[in-house]
Amino acid sequence: MVAEATARAVNDMTARWAREAVAERNSVLTAAGVWPLLALLAGPADGPARKELAEALGTDAAHAVREGRELLAALAAADGVDAAVGLWARRTLTLHPEWLAGLPPAAHGELTGDETLDQGALDAWARRHTDGLIERMPARLAPDTLLVLASALLVRTTWTEPFDEFPAWMTAEGPWAGRELGALSRSGPDVEQVRVHSTPAGPLTAVRVAGDNGLDVHLLLGEPELPGGEVLHHGVAALGGGYPTVSGAALTEGAGPGLRVTTVPSYDDVPLLDLTVPRFTVDADHDLLEQADLFGLTTASDTSRGHFPGMSDQPLAVSAARQTATATFGALGFRAAAVTVMPVAAGSVPPPPPYRALRISARYDRPFGFLAVHRASGLVLVAGWVATP
């Protein structure tokens, strides 16, 4: 199980990273894959590098290695999560046994100095840990590479309630107007899955789509002018209870972006949630050193001196830190349809529906964000922005 403090720290990194890195194009990122590797570096670091890593992690460097190892174990045990995380060092390095003993299984690999051979081994490792869905390790080796930090993560789940597919959905306005999109749609009575959070940047609509293995995807829609990074930043904060929230039956017309709340004639008084969202696949590559301060790598990536005496007596610095991530949202799972015919005898006009029922329609017909979340811990596994489905 993911420790509560660790989940908070990872989510905080997710929110900060999304705010800095997500622009108005498709993106996906996972701090849950980066955080444990930074933790493995913080323990053996010294001086400013140790302080910066600890601040980025939101934990004490003295027990960061243990916390990183525990998070990796929790990710490996979670249903629907395929993770590829690793740390590689040159064969000529003598690494301290105490540090090696703290590493999780298969987290540490070796670089032979043969770039072609080493790159092939790294790529094969990435494919093996993601069932071939990520084909290449994002870090490309250079002749002077001493240390490589890399991460890849894939999250998969099957919806508890499947979607119907519509191959040609066309929106009337907004940036997707006039385009034919592959749409997913479903209706159900659980209106409490839609929430509107009152954030400093305005109302934020979130709809939770439940998976059958303890993973959920939260679909986020802010005001049209709100940048993607801000939508994700506030979405993570809302997940942790950071803002006042109204949900389900308490919602009124105009409460949140993308929502229409009405009452309609009904033969029962059961509320209904209609959800329409485009299917999508988003991919992204990130150079973590472009936001080195966010990850505590500013000093650690300075190759003019060593920063990890707890790892080796030889001076070491981080020469590369990259991530490749992918996420797919579709009508996953088994679906079946049936036609039932009942002969009807002539009769009188049926009485009008005796009730009026709440009906909430949520439409994601312009750029939106998403969070893939481990339900029990609240840990954000993947965050992303869909600019073009």
* Whether residue 237 sits in one domain with residue 171: yes
Number of domains, the chain:
2
Q: How far is CA 152 from the centre of its chain?
A: 12
* Whether residue 184 sits in one domain with residue 52: no
Integer distance in angstroms from the first to the last C-alpha of the chain?
Answer: 34
- pLDDT tops 60 at residue 297: yes
Q: How large is the average pLDDT for residues 276-289?
A: 87
- pLDDT tops 50 at residue 344: no
Percent of the chain with pLDDT over 70: 89
* Whether residue 116 sits in one domain with residue 250: no
* Whether residue 225 sits in one domain with residue 106: no
Q: Any residues with CB less than 8 A from the CB of 128 and at least 6 apart, and which?
A: 84
* Whether residue 292 sits in one domain with residue 369: no
**CATH number of the domain where residue 32 is located:** 3.30.497.10
Q: What is the largest CA-CA distance in the chain?
A: 92
Q: How large is the average pLDDT for residues 76-87?
A: 75
Q: Is residue 246 part of a domain?
A: yes
* Whether residue 268 sits in one domain with residue 241: yes
* Whether residue 131 sits in one domain with residue 114: yes
* Whether residue 262 sits in one domain with residue 222: yes
* Whether residue 15 sits in one domain with residue 139: yes
* Whether residue 293 sits in one domain with residue 149: yes
pLDDT range class, residue 371, cuts 50, 70, 90: very high
pLDDT digits (tens, 9 = 90+) for 140-168: 777 777 777 776 677 778 888 888 888 76
What pLDDT is recorded for position 331?
65
- pLDDT tops 60 at residue 338: no
What pLDDT is recorded for position 187?
86
Q: Is residue 46 part of a domain?
A: yes
What pLDDT is recorded for position 24?
84
Q: Is residue 340 part of a domain?
A: no
What pLDDT is recorded for position 341?
20
Q: How large is the average pLDDT for residues 52-69?
A: 95
What pLDDT is recorded for position 264?
67
Q: Extract the tokens encoding 256.
A: 């949140």
* Whether residue 180 sits in one domain with residue 262: yes
Q: Is residue 341 part of a domain?
A: no
Selected residue with higher pLDDT from 342 and 3? 3
DSSP conformational letter for 312: B
Sheet of strand 108-111, all strands in order from the earlier edge strand to the far edge: 108-111, 81-90, 147-155, 320-329, 280-287
What pLDDT is recorded for position 61?
95
Q: Is residue 348 part of a domain?
A: no
Q: Is residue 342 part of a domain?
A: no
What is the spatial distance between Cα 243 and Cα 250, in angstroms, rounded to a whole number?
A: 16
Q: Is residue 148 part of a domain?
A: yes
What is the spatial distance between Cα 152 and Cα 32, in angstroms, rounded to a whole number?
A: 10
Domain that holds residue 368: 164-279+354-386
* Whether residue 247 sits in one domain with residue 127: no
DSSP conformational letter for 235: H
